[in-house]
Amino acid sequence: MSNRRNFIKEFAAAASAVAITTTGAAVAEEPTREAARRTCGNQRRWRTAFGLNGFASSESTFKKTFPIWEVLEFAQREGFEGIEIVPNWPQKEMYVNLADEARIASLRGLFARYNLKIFSIQTSGQEAFQKDRSVREGWVKRFADLARFAHKAGCECIGYWPAGDVAGQTVNQAIDSLVWSLREVGKIVNDEELMFGIEIEPPFAFNKIEHMIKILDGVDHPQVKAIYDPSHCDLMNGSRGKPHELLERIGVHRIGYTHFTDSDGTLFRGTSKHLPCGDGHIDIRKSLETLWEGGFEGWFMIDAWNTQNPYDACRKGRLAAC
């Protein structure tokens, strides 16, 4: 039974991607609830998405089954515009070895039929913050290949999870090592017209908001930003239901995209417990207000990681964001 860290490690073995257009339905003078769902993200400068990680983790943890066509039909019906994929679901190494144009076009076409754009690919790799420069250089080279593929597939973002051992370094030394790698990443994503998002979690070696700020300050690149996940920020802020306080400390202008979720302020299966918006203790409204008033624009991904019913979590998250 894999936890989140093991799940993330599997991402490093695969490259994946896709993209297509977003939709913008016209709004009637008195729109129906369904029409409102389909347009509110664009009206609020936010494009709503969800992650396949929620469905993959629910299958693993709760032994559920989610046919991919059912998931995509749900996304289309609910008015989602984007999706964040995971390389090992719905089948292992699904997106590996997509070197030829025909297969990439086929994959793009699959999601196009449901009016979905794959906006993000996830990756990880503790090699990025190891002391040995040659190890870091190897990771950067692999990342460059992934970034080229992401651009070719039409993606806008790559998310990075710095899970793993600092291998004899202090945390500050490991941050310096990571900053070196991410400065190289900044050059790559600039060339490939991508945004690079970093998400730290309470179980990681980098598990304080000060760590995130130090990383961002060190890299100092406009296309290297943080991913805002209220569940992680809640735990890093004392599990008080006020993750927006850390969001304010980071600065909304330094948020690349969101992994939006509620939480009860506890850990579950190796990371912060994720709950559907409204089912936990987080002040969801305040997070939304902080993002909105700070001028956040871009992808608002509903994160249903290890929820028993990811459909419910995705639906509640989208309605909250709208």
Let me know how many helices (H) and strands (E) the chain has, helices first: 12, 10
Among the ranges given (121-125, 234-238, 245-249, 273-277), the one the predictor scored with the smallest mean pLDDT: 121-125
Which residues are paired to 301 by β-bridges? Answer: 49, 259
Residue 24 has pLDDT above 70, yes or no: no
Q: Please name which of 50, 45, 69 lies closest in space to residue 318, comparing C-alpha atoms.
A: 50
Stretch 135-155: mean pLDDT = 90
Annotation: CATH topology of 4-321:
TIM Barrel (3.20.20)
Q: How far apart are CA 253 and CA 226, in angstroms?
A: 10
Q: Please name which of 164, 161, 224 lies closest in space to residue 11, comparing C-alpha atoms.
A: 161
Question: In percent, how much of the chain has pLDDT > 90?
Answer: 73
Beta 195-198 vs 157-161: how paired, if at all?
parallel
Q: Tell me the per-residue pLDDT of 260-287, one tens digit each, with 9 for 90 and over.
A: 999 999 999 999 999 999 999 999 999 9
Query: Predicted confidence band at 210 (pLDDT cuts at 50, 70, 90)?
Result: very high
Mean pLDDT of all residues in the chain? 87
Q: Where are the domains of the chain?
A: 4-321
Query: Predicted confidence band at 8 (pLDDT cuts at 50, 70, 90)?
Result: very low
Q: How far apart are CA 239 and CA 232, in angstroms?
A: 9
Q: At what angle do helices 171-192 and 133-153 cross, to 10 degrees?
A: 30
User: Is residue 263 within a helix (H) or strand (E), and if so which, with residue range?
Assistant: none
Say what the pLDDT of residue 314 is. 98
Q: What is the DSSP letter of 283?
A: -
Q: Tell me the per-residue pLDDT of 47-88, one tens digit each, with 9 for 90 and over.
A: 999 999 999 999 999 999 999 999 999 999 999 999 998 878
Say what the pLDDT of residue 118 is. 87
Stretch 23-30: mean pLDDT = 31
DSSP 2-18: --HHHHHHHHTT-----
Query: Predicted confidence band at 106 (pLDDT cuts at 50, 70, 90)?
Result: confident
E strand residue ranges, the chain: 46-51, 82-85, 117-124, 157-161, 195-198, 224-228, 255-260, 267-268, 271-272, 298-302
Stretch 23-48: mean pLDDT = 46
* Residue 238, both tokens: 């004392």
* Residue 214, both tokens: 């130090």
Judged on CB neighbours under 10 Å (0-12, 13-18, 19+), 114 is middle
Q: Tell me the per-residue pLDDT of 64-74, one tens digit each, with 9 for 90 and over.
A: 999 999 999 99
Query: Predicted confidence band at 43 (pLDDT cuts at 50, 70, 90)?
Result: very low
Report the residue count for the chain: 322
Taking CA 305 as the corner, what is the angle to CA 176 and CA 46, rounded to the nearest 5 degrees?
A: 80
Say what the pLDDT of residue 25 is. 31
Residue 9 has pLDDT above 60, yes or no: no
